[in-house]
A and B are shown apart, each in its own frame.
Chain A
């Protein structure tokens, strides 16, 4: 097993020794700082609840929102958003909670960064096998007393570790930047979120963990997919292209085939496990949490088997 650890060390070393990897982190950092600057400058009312008259501020806001709804009567979208916003404000008022915006809130809002993390992980996964072929170093890797299966496994595990490191970086850096810009509101403050039928206040940490956790499902599936394409076709561009395309178009694909009886077997109909939380209606008829997990596992095994099969069976011919 110590041998496997050395292999993973080698793979991570090869990832982090390259400048292109650090460029990814610089971009992530820039996005996080940029997001904070933007939030700070656009949302001028971030501190509007800080004074003692926050209850009146909330009331005024509600009146304004209601006015907007009557103004744009035909627009369902505005009605929906504003109603939700009013509900949230009412929850603050009813439970006498003073709204606050702090570092944790910022971390939670940065959930969108997860798709950037997915993107970067896909790029790493797409290159980790294909690049060895491009550099010609695959020949040197495979003439060691180590089975091909073990080498492939060490590469896959390294990709997951990269994803984990990158995710931790996003979380910690968001928290730090959030603390600098908006202040640190305690170790684990509670925040108000809409859940199922109404609003509740929950621990920020658990909210962050579940939010990012649900997002990880898609990240892992698309990364495994990119890894498979990279191993089967030995072409990193193809792997990046197809994986990112599917990641973006996944929901559209499901929407197109929604009426078909087999729509529930499409990978992307099952990657969002949060749809089953809080007793909500599933997106596609006939799916359930258990069903989705089984579908995900089946896809995962297929991707892994294909990677394994092609990596083990193929002759390593000229470049």
Chain B
């Protein structure tokens, strides 16, 4: 039984005459880590800003545990912890002072809870230093600590691994997974690091030009419900093979050294080989691999990511 944590209903944002977000609809379940990816300028941050009520929604709605962020802001935002863009803190206050400051804004957060979140993000040693002296990684951790203070049902993290070293990334990744499975928190992570998303998320939503291009389970790409394959062939002569492919199957293959590479559906692979044999092209080796998330991403948004 999955419980919906956040629901986007035909969410739109228009600034001036330009439509930045063109009707986003998707849901995020409790206990799920949802990756929100897309090229720069696709509208990730704008969407996140609307999710947390920092930006006015032009049309549509965001519902958090059933509460509209527009009509019931306080009830809705109570369930959200977030870092929007960079993890900015008061530079003249220590980590501890920063956390107490935000703790005071929500009733019922005691010192024990502050200690708890400091331990979670591993900032014990530097918590009494001024936040202005923190490295980006330390600020990122403090940002996550701040977002966790009030035990939110939904955690929204904008580029959470930014500035963290590999060990730190692993730690945070581990912690995010734990939050989702053990505490049933819905985690929304925006990122442009595809490999990161792949390792951390259950499901991804790909956004381009303010539109949702696709949502899919990350496991899809490995257990495979889609049929897209990355095919590598060792054939001779290569030039003739490229022409034959184009003429018979309308596939644009590229030459990689001695090999030929292209993407196609699983079913067409035998046909391709048959065609090669018919045309007297020697096939030495056939390699088939499943498309990675990265291939998928570029498939969906195109190579030219910034528009």
The residues of A with any CB-CB pair to B shorter than 8 Å are 2-3, 6-7, 9-10, 13-14, 17-19, 135-137, 139-147, 313, 315-318
Stretch at the interface among B85-93, B166-174, B184-192, B226-234: B85-93
CA distance A10 to B54 in the complex (A): 21
Known interface pairs A3-B107, A145-B106, A147-B73. Does A140 touch B53 (Cβ–Cβ under 8 Å)?
no
Q: Which of A18, A142, A317 contacts B92, CB < 8 Å?
A: A18
Q: Which residues of A contact B54 (CB under 8 A)?
A: 139, 142-143, 315-316
Let me know if B90 and A317 touch, CB within 8 A: no
A145 engages B102 (CB within 8 Å): no
Q: Could you tell me if A136 and B85 are in contact, using CB atoms closer than 8 angstroms? A: yes
A contact residues around B90 at 8 Å (CB) = 14, 135, 137
Cβ-based interface call for B77 (8 A): yes
In the complex, B138 has a CB within 8 A of chain A: no
Closest-by-CB residue of A relative to B97 is: A17
Q: Is the interface of B mostly helix, strand, loop or mixed?
A: loop
A-B contact pairs, 29 of them (CB 8 A): A6-B105, A7-B105, A9-B104, A10-B105, A13-B101, A14-B90, A14-B93, A17-B92, A135-B89, A135-B90, A135-B91, A136-B85, A137-B88, A139-B54, A139-B84, A139-B85, A139-B88, A140-B89, A142-B54, A143-B52, A143-B53, A143-B77, A144-B105, A144-B106, A145-B73, A145-B78, A145-B106, A315-B55, A315-B56
Residues of A within 8 A of B102 (CB): 140, 144
- B92 closest partner in A (C-beta): A18
> Which chain B residue shows the least CB distance to A134?
B88
> Interface residues of B, CB < 8 Å — how many?
31
Q: B89: which A residues are within 8 A, CB to CB?
A: 135, 137, 140
Question: Beyond A135-B88, A135-B89: 8 further Cβ-contacts under 8 Å?
Answer: A3-B107, A10-B105, A17-B92, A136-B85, A136-B86, A139-B54, A144-B105, A315-B55
Kindly list chain A residues whose C-beta atoms are within 8 Å of the C-beta of B73.
145, 147
Residues of A within 8 A of B80 (CB): 143
Which of B72-121 touch A at CB < 8 Å? 73-75, 77-78, 80, 82, 84-86, 88-93, 97, 101-102, 104-107
Chain B residues positioned under 8 Å from A145 (CB to CB): 73-75, 77-78, 106
Most buried by A among B49, B85, B90: B90
